[in-house]
């Protein structure tokens, strides 16, 4: 039997940043950032979603308002903690969106909720991430010496150069960045039955992750599947933001009218 969930008694927790609470919404969209990212990544999303959707950016430990908390370095413990924290907010239909590391978190969180609580998202959006069943054989980088690790971050184009050149700021951020990379690079896929929710995958036309590889996300759902390629490199989440948000909004608008 599905878990019985009482309505949440508060409008925010350390895990969820509500920029514009919408108690009348018919669906909650939980958004998970990439490695090193925080909930501010999704600040612009609230104003571009239909009134039926409440955007809930997820704040992981070790960044922004949770900077002084220890970050997770294993996906399994991160997902277990996230499931416990978000469970009181799943009393109405919900969807997940995740980019890069966030895609992996949202996928495994959906499986965790199915195993433990017989719950499933109404929609899953994953972005900028190889399918979990495809092993990444590039080798670990989370334990590189500081200079090499920061050079890698610069080449990935996800951390502003002015941040990388700010020693005091990097001293604060490096443990979180290393932990996020460790989360991804120590992940091992375990086969389970596919999910039964619609799945949309986003990829960047100039990203290293090719369309053929992204197509194999199709194996992870028995419901509808679509793949959308957008202009930009790995961080098309920012450069093609308007187009990406519009697609997500259209899909969720359709779901909330059913």
| Cα distance between residue 135 and residue 254, in whole Å | 34
Helix (H, G, I), strand (E, B) or coil at 222: coil
**Catalytic residue (choose from 100, 106, 138, 226):** 100
Q: H or E segment at 86? A: helix 75-86
Nearest to 64 by CA among 89, 94, 91, 42: 42
Strand partners, 97: 31, 125
Output the DSSP codes for 8-32: PSSS-BTTB--SS--TT-SEEEEEE
Instruction: List all residues 6 or more positions away from 217 whose beta carbon is below 8 Å from its beta carbon.
Output: 126, 131, 199, 201, 225, 227
Q: What's the gap between Cα 114 and its chain centre?
A: 18
12 is catalytic: no
Q: Using an 8 Å Cβ cutoff, are 126 and 217 in contact?
A: yes
| Cα distance between residue 136 and residue 119, in whole Å | 29
Q: Active-site positions?
A: 100
């Amino acid at each position: 039997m599905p878990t019985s969930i009482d309505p949440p008694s508060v409008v925010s927790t350390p895990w969820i940043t509500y920029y514009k609470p919408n108690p009348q919404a018919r669906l909650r969209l939980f958004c998970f950032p990439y490695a090193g990212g925080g909930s501010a990544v999704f600040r612009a999303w609230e104003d571009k979603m239909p009134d039926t959707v409440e955007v809930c950016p997820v704040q992981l430990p070790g960044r922004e308002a949770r900077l002084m908390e220890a970050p997770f370095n294993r996906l399994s413990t991160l997902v277990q903690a996230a499931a416990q924290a978000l469970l009181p907010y799943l009393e109405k239909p919900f969807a997940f969106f995740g980019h890069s590391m966030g895609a992996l978190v949202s996928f495994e969180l959906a499986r965790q909720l199915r195993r433990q609580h017989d719950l499933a998202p109404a929609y899953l959006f994953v972005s900028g991430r190889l399918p979990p069943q495809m092993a990444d054989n590039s080798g670990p980088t989370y334990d590189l010496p500081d200079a090499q690790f920061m050079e890698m971050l610069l080449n990935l184009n996800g951390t502003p150069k002015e941040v990388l050149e700010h020693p005091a700021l990097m001293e604060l951020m490096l443990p979180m960045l290393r932990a996020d990379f460790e989360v991804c690079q120590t992940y091992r896929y375990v086969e389970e039955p596919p999910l039964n929710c619609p799945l949309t995958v986003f990829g960047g036309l100039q990203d290293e992750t090719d369309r053929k590889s992204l197509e194999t996300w199709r194996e992870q759902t028995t419901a509808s599947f679509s793949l959308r390629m957008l202009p930009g490199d790995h961080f098309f989440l920012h450069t093609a933001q308007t187009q990406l948000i519009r697609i997500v909004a259209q899909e969720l608008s359709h779901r909330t009218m059913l």
